[in-house]
Amino acid sequence: MDNKAADSKDNSASIVNGLISEYYRTCRYLAPERIAEREFGVGNYDVKIAQRHMSFRNEGQLKEYLSLNSVPYVSCSSAFYKDPSGRPMENKGIIGSELVFDLDVTDMTLPCQARHGKSWVCSICLSEVKNETIKLVYNFLVPDFGFSESSMDVNFSGNRGYHVHVKSKEVMELDAAARKEITNYISGTGISFENLFPTAGKRGEKLVGPSSKDKGWRGKIAKNFIASLNAGVDSLMKMGMEKAVATKLYRSKSLVQMGINNGNWDMVYIKNKADFWKGIIEREAVSQSDMIDRNVTNDPTHLIRLPNSIHGGTGLVAKRLGSPKELYRFDPMKDAIAFKKGFMRISARTNYELNMAGEKFGPYGGELKVPAYVGAYLYLKGLAKIINFI
C-alpha cells in the first residue's frame, strides 16, 4: 500500500502495518453477507478510499489481500451488484441496497469539545454518540418505520461513531429519493410549530399541541419535553428558558405533565405563550433530530467501513455488534481493541487522558512503555512516535 505514514523516517508505520497484517491474517467473521455481490474500496493513511470497484469471491481471498497489503482502511458497498467490479457504476447492475445510517460525534456539539476539540474523542463523546444511535433505533426506526431489531445490524465505526444497517426486504429497492424522505423525517425537516399547535395566536383559546399519546414527531416532542421537565430546572434552562419560568414550570410539573399528556400546553400561565413555546419547541426539534450523515443514507451505492475491519485512524476494530440491544453494554475502548498483545516504547506528547481497557493513560510528554493498542492509537492520532515493539 502506498501511504504517507510509510514514508516517515521512523519505523512507526512499519510496526503498525505489521500489527494490521497479523490482525487480518488471524481474524474471524470478516466477510459481509453475500460478499461476492459487494463492491469494495481500500485506502491508505492519507485517503480512506483510494481505490474502489474491487470485488472478492470469498473471505479467504479478502483476508489474504488485506493482510498482504496491511490495508488501514477497507470499505464495502451497502448495495449488491451483478458485477461489483464493473465500471462505470451503471455497468455493475444493482440488485438492491441496505439502508445505512452513519452517526459521528463530530456532527454533534458537546461541551467537552470546547476543551479538547473535535479531533480528540473522550468518554463523554463516545457515550453521547452511542445515545444518539440508540435513539435512532428505538425512537425512529422501530416505532415510526416498523423495522424489527432482527432486521438491523449495528457496528462501531472504529473511531467516533456507529453505523446502523437495515437489511429488511422493504428497503432493498428504495431509490435515492425515497431514502431522502427517510432522512428528512428523522432530521425533523419541515416540522412546523403552526401545525403542531393549531390554536397558537388565537386570542382566548387554550394552547392545544402534541400529546404524549401521539405517534411520530408529535409524541416525541411531548415526551421529550416531559422528560426535561422531570429532570429539573437546569434541564429546562438548557432548552432556552429563563430560570424564573423554568422554576415555575418545574414547581407545577404534575399539572403541566397532566395537561401535555392530553395535548393541553396551557396549564400554567406564561406571558406571550405562543412565542415562548415556539422558541422552545423549535430548539427541541433540532435537539431530537439524529446526527445522521444524509449522504450515506441517501446514496444506495455508498461505500461504508467493513464491519470487523481495522480503522486506520485509531487501530481499533470497526466492531460488529449485531443486534441494536448490544449497544447498551458495548464499550468501544474495551470491546473494540485489536492489538491486544505486546508493548511499545513510544515518544508521545498528549494533553488529554486516554481510557482504554479499563485503564487510564496520559497525558504524556516524553518516552514511555505502553500496551501496543495505546501506542498504535496515539501514533495513528498523530500524537506519538513508536520507538520499538516489545
CATH code for the domain of 42: 3.90.920.10
Query: 23 and 147: one domain?
Result: yes
Query: 115 and 19: one domain?
Result: yes
Backbone φ and ψ for 152, nearest 5 degrees, come out as -120, 145
Question: Is residue 68 in a domain?
Answer: yes
What are the start-end ranges of the H helices in the chain? 12-26, 59-69, 113-116, 123-135, 169-172, 176-186, 193-196, 216-231, 233-237, 243-251, 253-261, 273-288, 294-298, 332-335, 372-380
pLDDT at residue 188, as a whole number: 85
Question: Is residue 188 in a domain?
Answer: no
State which residues form the domain around 349.
340-390
Task: Indicate the pLDDT class of residue 94, thresholds 50, 70 and 90.
Answer: very high
Rounded-to-integer distance, Cα 303 and Cα 163, Å: 12
CA atoms within 13 A on the CB side of 217: 22
Query: 333 and 346: one domain?
Result: no
pLDDT digits (tens, 9 = 90+) for 334-368: 999 999 999 999 999 999 999 999 999 999 999 99
Query: 58 and 174: one domain?
Result: yes
CB 55 within 8 A of CB 84: yes
pLDDT at 4 over 70: no
Question: Is residue 359 in a domain?
Answer: yes
Query: 157 and 50: one domain?
Result: yes
Cell for 185? 423525517
Rounded-to-integer distance, Cα 308 and Cα 264, Å: 49
pLDDT digits (tens, 9 = 90+) for 108-133: 989 999 999 999 999 999 999 999 99
Is the previous residue joined to 72 through a cis bond, with omega within 30 degrees of 0? Answer: no
**CA-to-CA separations, 294 to 66, 96, 307, in angstroms, rounded:** 29, 19, 20
pLDDT at residue 290, as a whole number: 52
The dihedral formed by the CA atoms of 286, 148, 320 and 57, expressed in degrees to the nearest 10: -120
Among 309, 333, 328, smallest CA distance to 319 is for: 309
Query: 309 and 354: one domain?
Result: no
Question: Is residue 152 in a domain?
Answer: yes
pLDDT at 95 over 80: yes
Query: 165 and 85: one domain?
Result: yes
Rounded-to-integer distance, Cα 389 and Cα 22, Å: 14
pLDDT at 203 over 90: no
Task: Indicate the pLDDT class of residue 286, thresholds 50, 70 and 90.
Answer: low
pLDDT digits (tens, 9 = 90+) for 292-320: 899 999 999 999 999 999 999 999 999 99
**CA-to-CA separations, 231 to 83, 222, 346, in angstroms, rounded:** 54, 14, 45
Task: Indicate the pLDDT class of residue 6, thresholds 50, 70 and 90.
Answer: very low
**Residues with Cβ < 8 Å from 108, sequence gap 6 or more?**
125, 128, 129, 132, 291
CATH number at residue 357: 3.40.5
Q: What is the mean pLDDT of the chain?
A: 93
**CA-to-CA separations, 354 to 97, 247, 377, in angstroms, rounded:** 38, 39, 10
pLDDT at 35 over 70: yes
Among 302, 291, 337, smallest CA distance to 156 is for: 337
Task: Give the residue-averaged pLDDT of 5-26.
Answer: 83
- Report the 3 state secondary structure along 249-279: HHHCHHHHHHHHHCCECCCCCCCCHHHHHHH
pLDDT digits (tens, 9 = 90+) for 36-50: 999 999 999 999 999
Query: 284 and 301: one domain?
Result: no
**CA-to-CA separations, 322 to 151, 164, 244, in angstroms, rounded:** 10, 9, 46
Task: Indicate the pLDDT class of residue 5, thresholds 50, 70 and 90.
Answer: very low
Domain count along the chain: 3
Query: 274 and 301: one domain?
Result: no
Task: Give the residue-averaged pLDDT of 374-381.
Answer: 98
pLDDT at 102 over 80: yes
Q: Which of 302, 320, 338 corresponds to the end of one domain?
A: 338
Query: 248 and 105: one domain?
Result: no
